[in-house]
Structure 1
Amino acid sequence: MKTVSLFAATALAIVAVPVSAADTGSFSPQRLSQHVQTLGSDAFQGRAPATEGETLTVDYLSKQFAGAGLQPGGDLTNGKRAWTQAVPLLKSEFASAPHVSLNLAGTATALTQGEQIAVRAPTNGDKALAINGAPLVFVGYGVKAPERNWDDFKGLDARGKILVMLVNDPDFEGGEGDFGGKAMTYYGRWTYKYEEGARQGALGVLVIHETAPASYGWATVKNSNTNAMFDIVRKNPRGEHPPLEGWIQRDLAAQLFTASGTSFEAMKEAAKRKDFKPVPLKAALDVHGSAKTEVITSHNVVGILPGAARPNETVIYTAHWDHLGIGLPDASGDRIYNGAIDNGTGLAQLIEQARAFATGPRPQRSVVFMAVTAEEKGLLGSEYYAANPLYPAALTAGVINTDVLGVLGPAKDFTIRGNQKFGLLDILVEEGAKRGRRYTPDPRPETGGFFRSDHFTLAKVGIPAMSFGPGQDLVNGGVARAKAWSENYTAKMYHQPADEYSPDWDFTGMAEDAELLHAVGLRLANGSDWPNWSADSEFRAARDRSASERSSVPAASEKKPGERG
């Protein structure tokens, strides 16, 4: 079992990654490897916000940005910028495991936190959960989408009730329908389901876990939802969060349906139809737990390379620095969730990308490098930046995000998360083709990858933003090797203590990916174009509304996806 003690000598030795090697403009696999090994080490304690792990991580990133040649790009005070942007967050953590009891058709059964159920510490402003005999109602996928003529709540008064919902959206099983087929929409994300529960006035929301539609196993749910919860500080947190938020195992949901005179399969089939109506269940829930809540300050780490000609215009590279910290032990007793892949790899690319830009010719636009906090808690650091931008969204040409990169060597292809169409993707495809690499569309759009990383919060305010994904056709081992790795990672490493650095990893492919992303950013930074979203994109309107702020740039440079220039 690993300890969580931290010795100053160890920390000092670990951060001694060289910052003045001869590499200029190219990407060193050795450097990338060193960063991942450092940030994914036990010394950083899993990099959780508001812990000693955050202090070490912020210090490491600031020093690496400075050594790479960047200037501080964070909060502005008395005319000087800091290396960080302060991000106030509401932190909520149970003092001890909550007591949960399910009354099922007249029989009371205790439920164990992390086993049959995962109850999240409240982030609606409450300091305790005190729920007594709240009735459960099954509401299908929990979707209210007027633009698709879909309403899973049909006349339900949700006040005082706990809503039980399926994960993903109604098209997942059949692969076609009103929600774009297999590709998950935002309606399928657990974050949306909690938000909609709050809008309905519900006492709580329980999401039913299934591995395929969730795209991860129960271990990931348990590890992500039974530790400290965070949210940005909101004026009306109850408008976004019901008192009770949590997940339940599929087997428990099946028991609920059986006791109510139906079956899991029948309810799932009914939920796929537009005429679905809420189904009261013969079950009630008691939940009692006290939580310590406080407002803490976490930090986005920000460095900038000012542009030579148009410094007020920006290109932004992002990666989240946080992981899950110290949590429940795995079977071996390991409690440190190192996050070497997620997202030590993205951070390594970010640092070395900064070095490549700073050691090359100064670009025309400013290039910003931002490591954001609290991604694992719901994309909170990037959401805060989107609401409080250090650099105007209208004058940001694009965002390139890296979250989980490949460690299996070079690939013949590459991808991005989601299936959006936008000009930034056109540029990526062109630059990839120059290097003999092809673009492969997101191989698993049903997992909702577009909504699961920090580019999404920036896309919502209109900025063309993409999250790069490594290729799935490896030079060594092809598609079969990549698939086997991905399946093993999802099942045994993702959001688990086993996400640790391995000396067997091959960083040459990551170096090639970084070089490709450098070419994309350099093209944006030296150009005058303003990439946009496709005409049918839900993000197009926000981008178009900000066009007047770019009035100094000729209108002809507003390229549409597919237009070259």
Structure 2
Amino acid sequence: MKRMIWVAMCLMGVGTASAEPLSQQRVLKDVQVLASDEFEGRGVATRAEDKTVAYIVEGFKTAGFLPGAKDSAGKPSYYQDVALRRFRVSSPELKFTLPDGKTVPVVQGENMTVATRGATADVTLNAPLVFVGYGVTAAERGWDDFKGVDVKGKIIVVLINDPDFVEPDLKTFNGKAMTYYGRWTYKYEEAARRGALGAIIIHDTDAAAYGWATVKNSNTRDRFDIVRPDPLKVNPVLESWIQADTAEALFTAAGLDLKALRVQALSKTFKPVELKGVTLSGTYKVAADEIHTRNVVAVLPGKTKPDEYVLYSAHWDHLGIGNPDATGDKIFNGAFDNATGVAGILELARAFAKAPRTDRSIVMISFTAEESGLLGSEYYASNPLFPLDKTVGGVNIDGLNIAGPTRNIELTGYGQSTLEDMLAETLKTQKRVVTPDQRAEAGLFYRSDHFPMAKRGVPMLFGAWGLDMVDGGLEAGKKFSEAYIRDHYHQPSDEYEPSWNMTGGLQDLEAYYALGRKLATAKVWPEWKPGSEFKAERDKSAMTRK
């Protein structure tokens, strides 16, 4: 009860009198349901999807939010249908042949992963390997790792992240903060653009920001993409990761020093190097079909400006059922990622619906297929149900704080928009602050559902829990975060635990509520700051907001 009274006082402190106090108990109840074994890891296009989206719809409906979409007959619906292509790889029988004739068999998920979002039929490979450093072509930075070398019909081998990860002081890219050039998605896209048969990414736990278990669990299951006329124009035949020690053995067999080549790859003068005498050959089966999944969309119309929108989002999907871990558990429950986020926006919906109606409309979206490459949000951003130029701004929640109260909220993409200044002002009522992301090198800004909106100009915040713990400071926060990433991220062990301390998560929800309410009752239009790569896109529609 004391907690709820404190919450109400905080909300009133930022001009939100009569707001329904946020409830830690309701949030935890939703998490426990969505992350239970009954929901089978909330896999896309599985029987668990039906159960998951129905639960979310019921939550929005009970709260008082209206359907935000329409069905095929034009009737109001909480579902936005999303068409995807599913790629299922099976029976991979691949091997590396070395210059001396010896072979190294590929063991799916152990020394390498075999996946595709380009091939729609069975694959036969027999191709040479070319090391292309970070595999980056960035004309605006004067950077070209390919130097005119033709990689058509070959398989490129690349390093994860971008060169500044190793030498952030170079500032060739964005210092410590990863750019999009460092993401695995970019590596595969660049391979396809250049006609390569495939791309093999050399795994590095620090540079990738996750361990091999996460790579294995994410890349040995069904893969999804939006439906494209020619998938091979965007994604290659082979999308792969390889263990670092396996890669090093291949380079050594080709008479190359991978360690030395890593250093050379930090320079603009780097040139591609062929792994002479090393080939990858064999077959794998591919079954490709079109499936339909759903975004869940709900709206609370504004009283005076219903055609202007404040957005909250949280993806509902996780990895479903996959390979069992050492304990035999094969359900990837996704309790933190992202049952907490969905529970968060359900609780925010309850608060908004029971408080005095805002001038602008409040939109809640639970996206599908985030874990498959932000596909649900990409689909929505390409087919918006509410005009993006009239979407004031928003908050994306991809994991709530489960570690306890903090002195801060960390923002990925720090320094991008005036939304963060508004959040900082809001946090003053809690005697907390906004700080930059402590893991900027992980490229988190490109890894969640706010990104497709930002690309199209919509100011979005993606807040991570702050690491400056009230009890233990930064050291305790980093220790907790590192343990989660190492032991639970994209693993069956991401389950609800009674030991969770959700007081910090509720603090963050309070701040997001207060920020959203301010956006929805003011005339302000947040802006991207000078220098942001998203400012130009937003400025194109500036006249519609006059």
Q: TM-score range by the shorter chain?
A: over 0.9
Moved more, 399-408 or 69-78: 69-78
**Superposition pairs of residues 221-370 of structure 1, within 5 angstroms:** 221-282=215-276, 283-370=278-365
Q: Is the CA contact 1:140–1:152 (under 8 Å) kept in the aligned structure 2?
A: yes
5+ residue gaps, structure 2, are 1-17
Q: How far did 1:81 drift?
A: 2.0
Q: How far did 1:453 drift?
A: 0.5
Q: Is the CA contact 2:87–2:120 (under 8 Å) kept in the aligned structure 1?
A: no
**Superposition pairs of residues 144-163 of structure 1, within 5 angstroms:** 144-163=137-156
Q: Is the CA contact 2:151–2:194 (under 8 Å) kept in the aligned structure 1?
A: yes
CA distance in 2, matches of 1:263, 1:331: 35
- Which residue is 1:189 aligned to? 183
Q: Is the CA contact 1:316–1:367 (under 8 Å) kept in the aligned structure 2?
A: yes
Is 1:142 matched with 2:114?
no
Moved more, 53-62 or 473-482: 473-482
Q: How far did 1:92 drift?
A: 1.0
- Which residue is 1:508 aligned to? 503
Moved more, 414-423 or 381-390: 414-423
- Which residue is 1:171 aligned to? 164
CA distance in 2, matches of 1:103, 1:125: 23
Q: Is the CA contact 2:119–2:286 (under 8 Å) kept in the aligned structure 1?
A: no
CA distance in 2, matches of 1:287, 1:125: 15
Q: Is the CA contact 2:374–2:449 (under 8 Å) kept in the aligned structure 1?
A: yes
Q: Is the CA contact 2:71–2:79 (under 8 Å) kept in the aligned structure 1?
A: no
Moved more, 155-164 or 251-260: 251-260
- Which residue is 2:4 aligned to? none
- Which residue is 1:59 aligned to? 54
CA distance in 2, matches of 1:363, 1:199: 47
Tell me the TM-score normalised to structure 2 length: 0.95
Change (3 A) 1:100 1:79: closer
Is 1:485 matched with 2:480?
yes
Change (3 A) 1:344 1:365: same
Is 1:208 matched with 2:202?
yes
**Aligned letter for 1:431?**
T
CA distance in 1, matches of 2:173, 2:253: 31
Q: How far did 1:309 drift?
A: 0.6
5+ residue gaps, structure 1, are 1-22, 554-565
Q: Report how many aligned residue pairs link the two structures.
A: 526
RMSD (Å), alpha carbons: 1.2
Alpha-carbon displacement from aligned partner over 1:234-261 (angstroms, at most 9, x marks no partner): 2332221011111001111111221122
**Aligned letter for 2:336?**
I
- Which residue is 1:39 aligned to? 34
**Aligned letter for 2:81?**
A
SS in structure 2 of the partner of residue 117 of structure 1 = coil
Q: How far did 1:207 drift?
A: 0.6
Tell me the TM-score normalised to structure 1 length: 0.91
SS in structure 2 of the partner of residue 341 of structure 1 = helix
- Which residue is 1:539 aligned to? 534
**Aligned letter for 1:157?**
D
**Aligned letter for 1:190?**
W
Alpha-carbon displacement from aligned partner over 1:151-173 (angstroms, at most 9, x marks no partner): 00011111110000000001111
- Which residue is 2:376 aligned to? 381
Match among 78, 88, 93 for residue 93 of structure 1: 88
Identity between Structure 1 and Structure 2 (%): 50
Alpha-carbon displacement from aligned partner over 1:207-240 (angstroms, at most 9, x marks no partner): 1100000000000000000000000112332221
CA distance in 2, matches of 1:113, 1:79: 46
Q: Is the CA contact 2:215–2:241 (under 8 Å) kept in the aligned structure 1?
A: yes
CA distance in 2, matches of 1:125, 1:110: 22
SS in structure 2 of the partner of residue 506 of structure 1 = coil
Q: Is the CA contact 2:420–2:434 (under 8 Å) kept in the aligned structure 1?
A: no
Is 1:446 matched with 2:441?
yes
Is 1:113 matched with 2:112?
no
CA distance in 2, matches of 1:80, 1:549: 28
SS in structure 2 of the partner of residue 176 of structure 1 = helix
SS in structure 1 of the partner of residue 523 of structure 2 = coil
Alpha-carbon displacement from aligned partner over 1:80-138 (angstroms, at most 9, x marks no partner): 320110000001112x3311111122312211000110111x22252222112x00000
Match among 213, 217, 222 for residue 219 of structure 1: 213
Q: How far did 1:522 drift?
A: 0.5
- Which residue is 1:518 aligned to? 513
Q: Is the CA contact 1:220–1:496 (under 8 Å) kept in the aligned structure 2?
A: yes
CA distance in 2, matches of 1:477, 1:29: 22
CA distance in 1, matches of 2:130, 2:436: 38
SS in structure 1 of the partner of residue 379 of structure 2 = helix
**Aligned letter for 1:194?**
Y
Q: How far did 1:480 drift?
A: 2.1
- Which residue is 2:525 aligned to? 530
Is 1:461 matched with 2:471?
no
CA distance in 2, matches of 1:111, 1:309: 62
- Which residue is 2:67 aligned to? 72
**Aligned letter for 2:537?**
A
Q: Is the CA contact 1:419–1:445 (under 8 Å) kept in the aligned structure 2?
A: no
**Aligned letter for 1:375?**
E
**Aligned letter for 1:522?**
R
